Amino acid sequence: MTFTGKTKNLGVIGYPIAHSFSPAMHNAALSAAGLDYAYIAMPAAQEELENAVKGIKALNFRGINVTIPHKQAIMEYLDEINEDAKIIGAVNTVVNDNGRLTGYNTDVIGFIDALKNAGFEPAGKNAVMLGAGGAARAVVWGLIKENIKTLSIGVRNVAKVQPLVEYFKDYISIQLFDWKDPAFNTALKEADLLINTTPLGMTPNIEAMPPVAWDCVSSDTFVYDIIYTPAETLFLKTAKEKGCKILNGMGMLAGQGAEAFRLWTGVNPDLKIMEDELGKLVL
């Protein structure tokens, strides 16, 4: 790409940030679309977040992605927050319109679009979610928006996750279980969709996975792990051996990036190019 004095700036802030796949993914898509933008990674420590946001305005960045540990903290420095981001309580994308910063959460669209692109329609189905990790609220809200029939959550620490259930109970009836409770197996038997939101199985701890009574999981259950490194976790390998259709988190990662791209540029990126670029980086 050739950069000019008219090049518009984009980036991602977090701390640490050197591991981010976003610059490679977005710059490949920007180049393919012929857009005069540049996307960079910017480390910003927690105590520097307010100054970093001021810098985004001062340097007229068109927008940024936001990652750990700033997804909640950045909200107080924004001028407006999209409904999805308000409900989820986290922002992962910011758009700068002439100094007015609006926060979005594109994880919802990324999660649901990847699921639908894989051929699964959530409406009217029974879903089981394992864990309540960082993306759990986006997953739950996405399923609610898509009119999931029932949602059961299996976790290690029920008391810790109870506030999440209380938060969403006005939208949908959620059952919460200790994932080792035999009663949880009933939910597994009825699941059309089984989702892992825990980090169990992520590189480098690839021999780990959530405790699942696999004999209770039907071969017709669609199994979705939002982890993307490795591309096939032990959780997904086990599900595949049962004959289940499986999906990893690569599509969600590319999908949330694609929605951010559209918000910044007004252009729909080539999703395959974004996925292919991520595929080069994922071992």
Pairwise CA distance, residues 62 & 275, whole Å: 23
Across the chain, mean pLDDT equals: 95
> Annotated catalytic, 242?
no
Tens of pLDDT, residues 103-150: 999 999 999 999 999 999 999 999 999 999 778 999 999 999 999 999
Which residue in 54, 71, 169, 237 is the catalytic one?
Answer: 71
- The Cα 86–Cα 103 span in angstroms is 9
**Residues of each domain in the chain carrying CATH 3.40.50.10860:** 8-105+253-281
Superfamily designation of domain 121-244 = NAD(P)-binding Rossmann-like Domain (3.40.50.720)
8 A C-beta contact, residue 126 and residue 193: yes
Instruction: Tell which residue, 230, 213, 236, 229, has the closest CA to residue 118.
Output: 236
CATH 3.40.50.720 residue ranges in the chain? 121-244
* Global pTM value: 0.93
pLDDT in tens, 147-184: 999 999 999 999 999 999 999 999 998 999 999 999 99
Q: How is domain 8-105+253-281 classified at the CATH fold level?
A: Rossmann fold (3.40.50)
Whether 94 contacts 101, CB under 8 Å: yes
d(CA 55, CA 47): 14
Buried b (16+ CB within 10 A) or exposed e, 256-279: bbbbbbebbbeeebebebbbebbe
Encoded tokens for 229: 């490194």
CB count within 10 Å of CB 43 equals 14
Per the model's pLDDT, the better-predicted residue between 2 and 84 turns out to be: 84
Share of the chain above pLDDT 70, in %: 99
